[in-house]
Amino acid sequence: MNVPFITEIIFHPHVLKLFFLTTSGLLIRQSLVVIGQRWANTFHHLGTYLLLPSIAMIITSVIKDDIALSLGMIGALSIVRFRNPVKSPFELVMFFALLTLGIVCSVSLKLSILFTLLIIVVIFGIKIAEVVLKKINIDIYQYSFGDGNLNYTLEINSKEKLEDLLSEHQVINFFHDEENKIFNYRIIFKSKTDLLEFEKNIKKNKNLINTRADIQS
């Protein structure tokens, strides 16, 4: 067994960077899962978040001082095609952040640590701001079916318009069946608790025909 060779690999400067990048990718991915971004909670995204920063660092380290190799790498990467479209701008931004993290780490480990902390702080900061502002009835964003979150929806059928009751909620679909004189609403909620509380209150309305709750991811 070639002990000096193994020792050289273990204590190589890139080994520490690769370990850091793998750990950082895992921490960023777990941060997204904790705040409810379900699209990140898959095997494919786990593998991507673990490997993409390290791949970016290795490529950057290899082609750093070789212009010809850099151009060749650009040509090779230009033929890559993604068969599955990115579902949201935020998901695309996170992929760019992972690539940037790997590139930065090849230049400065300290700077890459700061960049990792910045990403995690922003992820949790958005969620904390949402919770705090919600207490004073301020929404910093609206939910959509492309956000990768759990979507709690409630379908309501009524004999009359319910504009007063629904003015403070996000109606994503409305249909008026003139023949049967039915008003159909579909509302999206940010939590199951909000949905159940609203459903309980609206069932007291004498014009209500029925309701149907649904959870979609």
**Tens digit of pLDDT for each residue in 57-88?**
888 887 766 655 555 555 555 545 555 555 57
Indicate if 33 and 71 belong to the same structural domain: yes
Better pLDDT: 212 or 128: 128
Residue 144 lies in a domain: no
Indicate if 98 and 195 belong to the same structural domain: no
Indicate if 37 and 123 belong to the same structural domain: yes
Indicate if 20 and 98 belong to the same structural domain: yes
Residue 143 lies in a domain: no
- What tokens were used for 79? 């033929």
CB 177 within 8 A of CB 156: no
Give the span between the Cα atoms of 127 and 152, in whole angstroms: 18
From 31-40, 114-123, 142-151, 207-216, the region with the lowest mean pLDDT: 142-151
Indicate if 159 and 126 belong to the same structural domain: no
Residue 67 CB-density burial (10 A; 0-12 exposed, 13-18 middle, 19+ buried): exposed
Q: Is the pLDDT of residue 170 over 80?
A: no
CB 184 within 8 A of CB 174: yes
Residue pLDDT, tens place only, 107-116: 899 999 999 9
Q: How distant, in Å, are the alpha carbons of 9, 15, 58, 61, 62 from that of 5?
A: 6, 14, 20, 21, 21
Indicate if 25 and 121 belong to the same structural domain: yes
CB 149 within 8 A of CB 37: yes
Give the span between the Cα atoms of 40 and 34, in whole angstroms: 10
Indicate if 37 and 125 belong to the same structural domain: yes
pTM summary value = 0.62
Q: How far is it between the farthest Cα atoms of the chain?
A: 85
* Residue 191: CATH number of its domain: 3.30.70.260
Give the span between the Cα atoms of 155 and 182, in whole angstroms: 12
Indicate if 163 and 121 belong to the same structural domain: no
Among residues 12, 113, 11, 8, the alpha carbon closest in space to that of 58 is found at 12
Residue 146 lies in a domain: no
pLDDT of residue 215: 62
From 80-84, 130-134, 149-153, the region with the lowest mean pLDDT: 80-84
Per the document, the length of the chain is: 217
Domain containing 104 equals 3-134
Indicate if 106 and 32 belong to the same structural domain: yes
Residue pLDDT, tens place only, 6-41: 665 665 677 889 999 999 999 999 999 888 787 788
**By percentage, how much of the chain surpasses pLDDT 90?**
23
- pLDDT tier for residue 174 given thresholds of 50, 70 and 90: confident
pLDDT of residue 68: 58
Indicate if 100 and 196 belong to the same structural domain: no
Indicate if 12 and 79 belong to the same structural domain: yes
